[in-house]
Amino acid sequence: MSNLILVLEQAPWFFYSLVLLLGLFVGSFLNVVIYRLPKMMELSWQQDYQAYFQPDQAAAAQPRFNLAVPRSACPSCQTPIAAWDNIPVLSWLWLKGRCRHCGTSISARYPLVETLTALLSVLLAWRFGPGLTTLVYLLVLWAIIALSFIDLDTMLLPDQITLPLLWLALLFSLTPAGPSPADAILGAAAGYLSLWSVYWAFKLLTGKEGMGYGDFKLLAVFGALLGWQQLPLIILLSSAVGAVLGSLLLLLQGKGKSTPIPFGPYIAIAGLIAMLWGNALTQWYLGVLAL
């Protein structure tokens, strides 16, 4: 392993190219996760409901639907997408954003997710170089990209992603590259309980729910990954990003201030900034406060 890291350090162009290609193909897979995981959850809820409230009725056989089955197909003509039409970014550009068979427009979000995943992956690789930190941070990055787009679509942050991510972050603290186990555990607890407290205070005062439990878990992930010391920065950044981007989004959509907006993407953006430059930013604002 150390020999491989040494080779990648001596050939940075190869390392960045490898990460770029990996990011493109992971981004393609994330598009599948973003689309299918909420539908898989909905199907599971329906089956659980029927098993609990209608146990005497035999459930109709449902076709398999998961991340692998059925094959990706055009939503309009249902023609399966061939491998050469599923090359990240390039196929969309070659087909001019349309289905080869029926000409239906294909959303530009697919190449956007692929490009975003690739570029941010290279940014992390450039920032931290070959090693365990980059590997763990890449896994976190890919997960929060999927979580952010799912939250934008459905206002959900699935436990199927957040909980394994939390365990990964806690296990990372057992390595020399991560925060100390004590800082990680305190970060996970403080991250969860800080938003949990805000949630209940807001609910008791207004009778409304200001955010979801998935937000608590996502902040706990970053608390475990980076240590409790980074939580004030992440909370501050997510609030600032949420205020700016949330207001802009509502303005563009012509919706009122009472319209609920997902908070997960803003936690994800703030967490990514903290991963990249958290220590420098923390030292800077502590220096400003000390003036």
pLDDT in tens, 268-285: 999 999 999 998 888 887
- Predicted confidence at residue 168, as pLDDT, reads 97
Q: What is the pLDDT of residue 129?
A: 94
Q: 80: helix, coil or strand?
A: strand
- Residue 291, pLDDT score: 62
Q: What is the pLDDT of residue 135?
A: 96
Cβ atoms of 275 and 231 within 8 Å: the answer is: no
pLDDT tens by residue, 46-92: 888 787 787 776 556 677 888 888 888 887 888 888 888 889 999 99
The pLDDT value recorded for residue 61 is: 61
Give pLDDT, residue 137.
98
Q: What does the pLDDT read at residue 194?
A: 94
pLDDT of residue 87: 92
Written as six digits, the tokens of 13 are 């162009």
| Contact in structure between 279 and 231 (CB atoms under 8 Å) | no
- pTM for the whole thing? 0.92
Q: Which residues of the chain have pLDDT under 50?
A: none
Structural domain boundaries in the chain = 1-108, 131-291
Is residue 171 within 8 Å of 161, Cβ to Cβ? no
Question: Are 78 and 104 contacting, i.e. CB atoms less than 8 angstroms apart?
Answer: no
Residue 244 has a pLDDT of 83
Dihedral of the CA atoms 92, 265, 133, 113 (nearest 10)? 0
